[in-house]
Each structure stands twice: as structure tokens, then as C-alpha cells.
């Protein structure tokens, strides 16, 4: 099959790179529910082998062209989904080489293996960090793209490469720009397991469970109603469902595009702590901290475009539900 040629057969096999991580593992599970064969390729640098609940697992790195060649030779993929990247903004400022190498250069390896093996459909995990300091809220696709850290740049550079790969080689892609992925599988099959954990909701819930002593609020002097930062928390299964719709869009011959992906609702750090107190019934001790470098006051998505064009609708938009699922996951981990 040539790139760009209409896909007449149903979606059968998908390569999920980074399928052992937080978002990737939920995606692999969802693809299993949809009856799609999956091969997960993951170097387990931050993912977990036991989080891959469906399909075949290959332990390997996209930096390694021989591994890529082997995986692509052994399977015929209809599409590739790429979740494997480093995600810590602060670390990207300290060590940009790590971020450009893995998030950009290694992604080119993956795209070039797709070229070699004539796989023409790609879903990419992008980020709200490509927009930099918000110039208005909520942030739509037309918002200026001026990243303020190497993490954001590494993702925007891939977006640019994808536009060029379509023009030159016909590779079709969808970039999904996540705002704040949160929550867990409603039956606690999967959840967030970063080490070290830096994300707000799991940290608050660790403080609720006694796993850590408290949660530090990074600044109360922002220009927001309660002074704490506002973010757009999107449930992990709503995120996975958006990827499924994007896959189907490409399968139906959709053109290369990008969507902002969030709930469209902003919640302050303070309101997330209050939600966690409501959901858990625990006191949750709070410390007051300094602002964290590079944190904009408010990051909220305008997700109208993906709703309109792909028919995406969040099923778990309510913050208490997101926190409740994350809490069930935290409790199940403690019990196991
Ligand atoms: N945050 C906080 N204390 C923490 C971790 C995060 O106050 O221990 C705040 C952070 O400043 C931001 C929000 O919570 O405003 C969400 O941060 P997170 O790291 O979860 O996601 P990000 O928005 O950086 O992608």
C-alpha cells in the first residue's frame, strides 16, 4: 500500500510505542476492548510491564534502529501511536539534550522506520506546552505556538516534522495536545505510577492516604480567583477515547491535523484539594510553597474542534469523578 492511499480494510493491528506508561497503558487496554491487535514497544524507562494488559509486548527503544526494523518487519501495522517521551518541564530546562534526543530525534527514527515499511498513519502525543505563555483563554488550535521550555519545543518540532512528512511523503497524522491527563481506570485496572511523582492529583491523594505527609501548593499569588493555578484536568479514559476516534478518522482517510484535548473546564489547585477532601473524607495537610518556575496562571483547553470534527465528548468531565477514580487506584495500590 502506498502512503495516502485510502484504507479499505478495517483497522487490525496497531503499534503502541510507550504502551507501558500511564496514558499508553490505558490506550492499549481500550484497543483490546475494541478488538484491535496491539504490539507495545516500550523501553520500560518509566513504564511498567504489568500495565500492558493486552497484545504483545516488545522490550526495546526507538533509539535502536535494529529493534524498529525487526518490529516493523514482523508485523503489518495499520497505524502507529507514539506515547513514549520524557515529560518533566523542569528537567527539560536542566538537560535539554535528553529531551531533544528522545522526544525529537528518536521520534524521527520511528517516522523513518514507518517510511521504510510503508506504514502511513500516526497518532502523536503532543502537549499544551507547545503554546507557551497563554495569550488568551481558553486555548484553541489557532493560539500562537511559542514554547517556553525545551519540553514544549521538542513536541512542537515533531509537529512541524509531521506537517513536512505529510507534504513530502504523504504520512497522515493526528497530533493530540493534552492538557492535564488525570484519573485512572474506573475499575482500578490501571492508573498513574510515575517515579518520581510530580503531578498534582496523585500527590494530593498520596497525602490523603498517608503515603506522604502533605501537599505543597506552589504559589497563591496568581491572578486567579483563589490565587492558585488553574488547569484543565481530563480523565485518562476520555483521553484514550479521543485517540480511538483519531485512529478511526485516519482510517477513513482523514487529513493530517491537530486537536487541543482537554475538558474545557478550569480547576484551581485549591479546588482540586477541596475535591480530594470531599472524595476521600481525609484532612490532607497543605504546605504553602513558592511558585514553580514556568507555571502559567491558567491553562484551559478549547476542545470545540475535536468535538465538532471527531464527535468526541468527555464521559468523565466532573472533577470529583476524576479524583474518585484516582483515589480508588491509590487505595488499590496501597492494598496490594
Ligand atoms: N502543583 C502544586 N503542587 C504540587 C504539584 C503541582 O501546587 O506538588 C500545581 C502546579 O503548580 C500546577 C498544577 O498543580 O499549577 C498542576 O501541576 P502538574 O505538575 O500536575 O501538571 P502541569 O500543569 O505542570 O502539567
Active site residue ranges? 151
Q: pLDDT at residue 8 above 90?
A: no
Q: In terms of domains, do 34 and 142 share one?
A: yes
User: Model confidence over 189-207: pLDDT tens digits?
Assistant: 999 998 889 999 999 999 9
Give me ligand 1 centre to Cα 29, in Å. Answer: 27
Domain assignment of residue 102, given as a range: 13-181+234-261
Q: In terms of domains, do 20 and 84 share one?
A: yes
291 CA: nearest ligand 1 atom: 11
Give me ligand 1 centre to Cα 200, in Å. Answer: 5
The three-point CA angle 97-112-27 to 5° equals 80
pTM for the whole thing?
0.96
Query: Is the shortest distance between the CB of 200 and ligand 1 below 6 Å?
Result: yes
Domain membership of residue 114 (yes or no) is yes
Domain membership of residue 244 (yes or no) is yes
User: Model confidence over 273-292: pLDDT tens digits?
Assistant: 999 999 999 999 999 999 99
**Angle of helix 269-280 relative to helix 319-335, nearest 10 degrees?**
60
For residues 203 and 323, give the distance between their C-alpha atoms in angstroms, rounded to a whole number.
11
Contact (CB, 8 A) for 268 and 233? no
CATH number at residue 226: 3.90.25.10
Give me ligand 1 centre to Cα 231, in Å. Answer: 8
Closest CA to 87 of 178, 211, 217: 178
Phi, psi of 333 (to 5 degrees): -70, -40
For residues 233 and 321, give the distance between their C-alpha atoms in angstroms, rounded to a whole number.
11
For residues 243 and 247, give the distance between their C-alpha atoms in angstroms, rounded to a whole number.
6
Residue 253 CA to its chain's centroid (Å): 24
Domain membership of residue 5 (yes or no) is no
Domain membership of residue 193 (yes or no) is no
pLDDT at position 293: 85
Structural domain count of the chain: 2
Domain membership of residue 189 (yes or no) is no
Alpha helices in the chain (DSSP H): 22-33, 65-74, 89-94, 96-99, 106-116, 150-169, 200-209, 236-251, 269-280, 304-310, 319-335
Q: pLDDT at residue 315 above 60?
A: yes
pLDDT at position 286: 98
DSSP string, 291-325: PPTT--SEE-B--HHHHHHH----S---HHHHHHH
Q: In terms of domains, do 38 and 136 share one?
A: yes
pLDDT at position 333: 83
Pocket probe for ligand 1: among 177, 182, 199, 200, the residue whose CB has the most ligand atoms within 8 Å is 200
Q: In terms of domains, do 257 and 276 share one?
A: no
User: Model confidence over 171-193: pLDDT tens digits?
Assistant: 999 999 999 999 999 999 999 99
Whole-number Cα distances in Å, 192 to 98, 198, 317: 23, 11, 18
Query: Is the shortest distance between the CB of 203 and ligand 1 below 6 Å?
Result: yes
For residues 20 and 26, give the distance between their C-alpha atoms in angstroms, rounded to a whole number.
9
Contact (CB, 8 A) for 6 and 15? no
272 CA: nearest ligand 1 atom: 14
Percent of the chain residues past pLDDT 70, beyond the cut: 96
Domain membership of residue 40 (yes or no) is yes
CATH number at residue 45: 3.40.50.720
Q: In terms of domains, do 152 and 53 share one?
A: yes
Pick the residue whose CA is nearest to atom 22 on ligand 1.
180
292 CA: nearest ligand 1 atom: 11
For residues 176 and 16, give the distance between their C-alpha atoms in angstroms, rounded to a whole number.
15
Q: In terms of domains, do 280 and 143 share one?
A: no
The three-point CA angle 100-78-253 to 5° equals 95
Closest CA to 114 of 150, 164, 154, 65: 65
**10: pLDDT confidence band, cut at 50, 70 and 90?**
confident
The residues facing 14 across adjacent strands are 38, 79
Domain membership of residue 191 (yes or no) is no
Average per-residue pLDDT for the chain: 95
Q: In terms of domains, do 211 and 101 share one?
A: no
Q: pLDDT at residue 252 above 90?
A: yes
Query: Is the shortest distance between the CB of 229 and ligand 1 below 6 Å?
Result: yes
Query: Is the shortest distance between the CB of 273 and ligand 1 below 6 Å?
Result: no
Q: In terms of domains, do 140 and 52 share one?
A: yes
Domain membership of residue 60 (yes or no) is yes
Query: Is the shortest distance between the CB of 320 and ligand 1 below 6 Å?
Result: no
What mean pLDDT do residues 304-328 have? 98
Q: In terms of domains, do 163 and 217 share one?
A: no
Q: In terms of domains, do 224 and 90 share one?
A: no
For residues 8 and 45, give the distance between their C-alpha atoms in angstroms, rounded to a whole number.
37
Contact (CB, 8 A) for 258 and 96? no
Query: Is the shortest distance between the CB of 292 and ligand 1 below 6 Å?
Result: yes
Pick the residue whose CA is nearest to atom 1 on ligand 1.
200
Q: In terms of domains, do 225 and 249 share one?
A: no
Nine-digit cell string for 322: 476524576
- Number of residues assigned to the chain: 336
Q: In terms of domains, do 18 and 150 share one?
A: yes
Amino acid at each position: 500500500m502506498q502512503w495516502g492511499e485510502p484504507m479499505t480494510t478495517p483497522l487490525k493491528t496497531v503499534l503502541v510505542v510507550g504502551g507501558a506508561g500511564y496514558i499508553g497503558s490505558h490506550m492499549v487496554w481500550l484497543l483490546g476492548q475494541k478488538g484491535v491487535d496491539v504490539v507495545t514497544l516500550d523501553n520500560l524507562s518509566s513504564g511498567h510491564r504489568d500495565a500492558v494488559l493486552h497484545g504483545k509486548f516488545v522490550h526495546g527503544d526507538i533509539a535502536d534502529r535494529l529493534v524498529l526494523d525487526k518490529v516493523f518487519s514482523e508485523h503489518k501495522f495499520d497505524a502507529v501511536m507514539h506515547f513514549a517521551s520524557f515529560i518533566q518541564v523542569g528537567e527539560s530546562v536542566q538537560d535539554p539534550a535528553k529531551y531533544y534526543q528522545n522526544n525529537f530525534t528518536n521520534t524521527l527514527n520511528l517516522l523513518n522506520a514507518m517510511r521504510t515499511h510503508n506504514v502511513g498513519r500516526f497518532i502523536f502525543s503532543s502537549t499544551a506546552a507547545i503554546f507557551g505563555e497563554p495569550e488568551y483563554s481558553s486555548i484553541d488550535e489557532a493560539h500562537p505556538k511559542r514554547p517556553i521550555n525545551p519540553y514544549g519545543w521538542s513536541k512542537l518540532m515533531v509537529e512541524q516534522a509531521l506537517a513536512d512528512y505529510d507534504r513530502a511523503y504523504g504520512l497522515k497524522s493526528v497530533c493530540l495536545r493534552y492538557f492535564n491527563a488525570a484519573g485512572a481506570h474506573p475499575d482500578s485496572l490501571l492508573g498513574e505510577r510515575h517515579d518520581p511523582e510530580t503531578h498534582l492529583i496523585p500527590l494530593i491523594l498520596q497525602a490523603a492516604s498517608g503515603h506522604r505527609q502533605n501537599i505543597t501548593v506552589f504559589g497563591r499569588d496568581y491572578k486567579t480567583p483563589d490565587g492558585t493555578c488553574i488547569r484543565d484536568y481530563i480523565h485518562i479514559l476520555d483521553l484514550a477515547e479521543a485517540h480511538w476516534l483519531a485512529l478511526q478518522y485516519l482510517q477513513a482517510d482523514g487529513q493530517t491535523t491537530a486537536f487541543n484535548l482537554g475538558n474545557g473546564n478550569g480547576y484551581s489547585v485549591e479546588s482540586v484539594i477541596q475535591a480530594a477532601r470531599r472524595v476521600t473524607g481525609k484532612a490532607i495537610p497543605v504546605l504553602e510553597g513558592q511558585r514553580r518556575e514556568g507555571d502559567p496562571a491558567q491553562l484551559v483547553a478549547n476542545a470545540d474542534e475535536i468535538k465538532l470534527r471527531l464527535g468526541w465528548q468527555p464521559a468523565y468531565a466532573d472533577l470529583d469523578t476524576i479524583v474518585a477514580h484516582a483515589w480508588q487506584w491509590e487505595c488499590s495500590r496501597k492494598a496490594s
